[in-house]
Amino acid sequence: MARTHLLRTTRRAAVALAPLLAFVLASCGAATRPAETGRPRAGGPPYPIVLAASDERRQGALAAWSAIAGTQGAPAPPPELRPVTATLAALPENLATRVRMPNVVIGEEEKLSEEEIRESLRRFISTAGPLLGVSAGDLSLVGVEEVAGASGRMRARYRQTRFAHPLRNGYGDVEVTFTVPDLVVTGLSSTAIPDSERLRRSLAAVTQQLTAQTAAASLANRAVVYKDRAGAQQTHTVAATEQVAARQLVIFPVPSPADPARLELHLAWELSAGAEAAPLLVYVDAVTGEQLGAAEGTPAG
């Protein structure tokens, strides 16, 4: 009788310990198993990273526009804002009042110095930040140059540099065209990506799945559709023997095909196909391997 009771007690103890033993073994296996690779799992971070249209962002842009272009007599005409980002696409035509950059005096010379022009631009961009979708500190000045065929007119070009990788597909640019010496703004546009800090953190959590070599090899015998500089659609099939080189990782924003109120940000490889003197740049998603777009490029510097 005592022996039977002992056997039953032992069986009950074994049954109770079985789940604990299985958990310990599974934990040991997970600790020694190599990390899995492939597409992002359902439990992983969402991908691609999405920027959605925002009424608050649009109202902020309109308020900034009123601040720099409004008059006491009449409100400024509404500007053309881009979808989703709500950044300025172009100045309205026939403005009743002139938009001016602040006059900055640093030295005693009558002619505006390069330093004074740059400081005036910086202050103007700081004021127009919500309209441009970016702060002055997140922009890098590409250059200030005279506009060909327009005496007394200059253009400043900036690139958004908040992200870990360069922006492509036409995004991340700010242009200011103005006259000298009166600093009247005659052209203003932005393709910057707002909410950059949140998006930057989300993109930093994305795990790259394709190496540069794998992405380049994926173009062999694939047809690439793109628009040339004249705007005409072209198709190029990348031959297996054609030279394809990976230039760098970039951020490639694409309007969502399912929802026009959303912009999708992809981590992508910028690939150069063909002769380096006149390359075709192809963008392949570094996570999914999807071909995102292509464009005529310039020789690598």
Give pLDDT tens digits for 194-228: 999 999 999 999 999 999 999 999 999 999 999 99
The whole-model pTM stands at 0.81
- Taking the C-alpha atoms of residue 83 and residue 254, their distance in angstroms, rounded to an integer, is 12
User: Going edge to edge, which strands form the sheet with 185-190?
Assistant: 139-146, 153-160, 173-179, 185-190
Confidence of residue 277 (pLDDT cuts 50, 70, 90): confident
Q: Residue 94's pLDDT is what?
A: 77
> How high is the pLDDT of residue 148?
86
Check residue 149 and give its pLDDT. 81
Angstrom distance (rounded) from CA 189 to CA 125: 11
15-49 pLDDT, tens per residue?
343 443 333 333 333 333 333 333 454 556 799 99
- Provide the pLDDT confidence category of residue 252 given band limits of 50, 70 and 90: very high
pLDDT at residue number 18:
42
Could you tell me the fold of the domain covering 207-296? Nuclear Transport Factor 2; Chain: A, (3.10.450)
Q: What's residue 107's pLDDT?
A: 63
Long-range (24+ apart) CB contacts under 8 A made by 109-117 are 111/181, 112/180, 112/181, 112/183, 114/144, 117/144, 117/154, 117/180
Given a cut of 90, whether residue 112 has pLDDT beyond it is: no
Residues 166 and 159: their CA atoms lie apart, in Å, by 9
Non-local CB neighbours of 118 within 8 Å, separated by 6+ positions: 141, 144
Q: State the pLDDT at residue 110.
A: 67
Q: Average pLDDT for residues 62-82, to the nearest whole number?
A: 82
